[in-house]
Amino acid sequence: MSTRFSAALREATWAEHERAESAGFMRGLLAGDLPSGAYADLTAQHYFAYRVLEQAAESMRGDPVAGPFVFDELTRLPALERDLHHLLGDDWADRIRPNTATQRYCARLQEVCFTWPGGFIAHSYTRYLGDLSGGQAIRGTVERTFGLTDGVGAEFYRFPGIPRPREFKDDYRGRLDGAPWSPDEQGRVIDEVLEAYRHNTDVLVELGEVHGSGT
Ligand code: HEM
């Protein structure tokens, strides 16, 4: 089979991508229909997930398989902290909590991203390639809807260290193609990406329920 792994991965997971993308909360966000509290809550849920994912990145930095997927220019946690500070004030850390779906998502990240390179890569791929794709469409709407001038409050969506996202994504896909995985291991990585999408959709569905923006 000559299909590149990155293409097979995308193909096998695109239906789950569509589910995540079409969650009512996402549609509401993109349509500029959500109140700023809902946006702050989304930012808070991101904060909890990236805190675990980026701790895992630190522990995977020296791993021969996962190390090439650790990029400082992807790191989101400092931007999320600044966004939350802007949106919620000095006491932002006391005012946020992970929703039930985020707690489950974080438990999964904790379980697979620290000891299994393929698990770390599956979850990193799902978040960061998404942030560099759909996230760039969300950025403009969020900045306009909530009057976030110069991106302050929406820094999460800006990657100053990645001026050309398309090239970055192509390079990332090349690394996926070059990873030394057997067909079995490739299958496990695909399954974990499916799992990652499901967690992300669950987080969005719960946000939709809490903020009354559909499912
Ligand atoms: C309104 C919401 C969204 C929109 C409009 C959107 C849109 C897109 C588009 C247009 C691409 C293709 C980009 C390319 O080929 O370079 C893409 C890729 C991707 N998106 Fe989304 N997306 C959304 C939500 C999400 C969510 C919630 C996730 C998961 C957390 C996600 C994860 C991904 C991933 C991993 C890719 C890369 C797929 C690949 O090429 O291998 N997206 N998205």
Sketch out the chain's domains with CATH numbers: 5-209 (1.20.910.10)
Residue owning the nearest CA to atom 33 of ligand 1: 130
pLDDT at residue 26 is higher than 60: yes
Q: What are the pLDDT digits (tens) for 50-108?
A: 999 999 999 999 999 999 999 999 999 999 999 999 999 999 999 999 999 999 999 99
DSSP letters of 124-161?
HIIIIIHHTTHHHHHHHHHHHHTT-GGGTT-GGG--TT
* 195 within 8 A of 109, measured Cβ to Cβ: no
* Closest ligand 1 atom to 128 CA: 35
| pLDDT given at position 1 | 52
Q: Is 158 annotated as a binding residue?
A: no
| pLDDT given at position 150 | 85
| pLDDT given at position 94 | 98
Q: What are the pLDDT digits (tens) for 3-23?
A: 899 999 999 999 999 999 999
pLDDT at residue 177 is higher than 60: yes
Compute, in angstroms, the gap from residue 157 CA to the centroid of ligand 1.
Answer: 13
Residue owning the nearest CA to atom 43 of ligand 1: 134
* Closest ligand 1 atom to 29 CA: 1
**Top mutation candidate among 21, 176, 192 for ligand 1, by most atoms within 8 Å of CB:** 21
DSSP letters of 113-125?
TTT-HHHHHHHHI
Q: What average pLDDT does range 125-153 have in this prediction?
A: 94
**What's the pLDDT band for 172 if we cut at 50, 70, 90?**
very high
Residue owning the nearest CA to atom 19 of ligand 1: 130
Residue owning the nearest CA to atom 27 of ligand 1: 20
pLDDT at residue 165 is higher than 90: yes
Amino acid identity of residue 190, one-letter, is I
Which one, of 142, 195, 199, 135, lies nearest residue 169 by Cα?
A: 135
| pLDDT given at position 118 | 98
**Top mutation candidate among 13, 14, 17 for ligand 1, by most atoms within 8 Å of CB:** 17
Q: What average pLDDT does range 192-200 have in this prediction?
A: 98
| pLDDT given at position 63 | 98
**What's the pLDDT band for 212 if we cut at 50, 70, 90?**
confident
Compute, in angstroms, the gap from residue 91 CA to the centroid of ligand 1.
Answer: 32
What six digits make up the tokens of 188?
Answer: 């496990």
Compute, in angstroms, the gap from residue 130 CA to the centroid of ligand 1.
Answer: 4
pLDDT at residue 214 is higher than 60: no
Q: What are the pLDDT digits (tens) for 141-152?
A: 999 999 998 889
